[in-house]
Copies of this chain bind each other. A is one copy, B any other.
């Protein structure tokens, strides 16, 4: 049987998906490195060794690309927050798992784009859509904190402030993390989460063995 030199419909669709993802990822990197406003679709095409019309076969516009990059970043966090929901442990255990995932995501291409560029440059309607996704994620974090307060693994506090302080400390990593620097992502993430959990104050070691962990 002669194998057809033409691709099947399925193969073509998979091909297209892989190429579209490459366009988005390379654009996200360009936005993260140069800034959204300083990046043109010509830059993106050049990084991919293709022409600008080729890019338009996969995406509608620069705004469309940014929308997709931010949406993918948010979707990864949302999906991590759903997975976290299934795992056991105290509220604090689950918050630690969720914070750790969050921090890892915001150091990846789409997650960094979510933090470094975000929805601000987009038109009002798309901004609102992405902000609604953000609010949903934020409420998920708050409810895990509330569960931790209820099961006494987290001390009484304002869940909103904890959710924002965690998001701030961990999102900041996306700004300063340097892959060429001396610290790897896992060390940075683990130590920053540990700081949020245990604080920085020196305690009497005899009085509090648990703070040594």
Contact = CB atoms under 8 A, between A and B. Distances in A.
Interface of A: 35, 37, 92, 95, 120-121, 145, 148, 152-155, 157-158, 161-162, 164-173, 175-176, 183, 188, 191-192, 195-204, 207-208, 210-211
Given A161-B188, A161-B192, A208-B207, A200 B168 contact: no
Nearest to A167: B172
A202 B155 contact: yes
Contact of A157 (B166, B191, B208): B191
A92 B207 CA distance: 20
Contacts of A191: 157-158, 161
Contact of A121 (B35, B195, B198): B35
B154 A195 contact: no
19 contacts: A145-B200, A148-B200, A154-B201, A155-B200, A155-B201, A155-B202, A157-B200, A158-B191, A168-B168, A168-B175, A169-B196, A171-B172, A195-B196, A197-B200, A199-B199, A201-B210, A203-B210, A203-B211, A207-B207
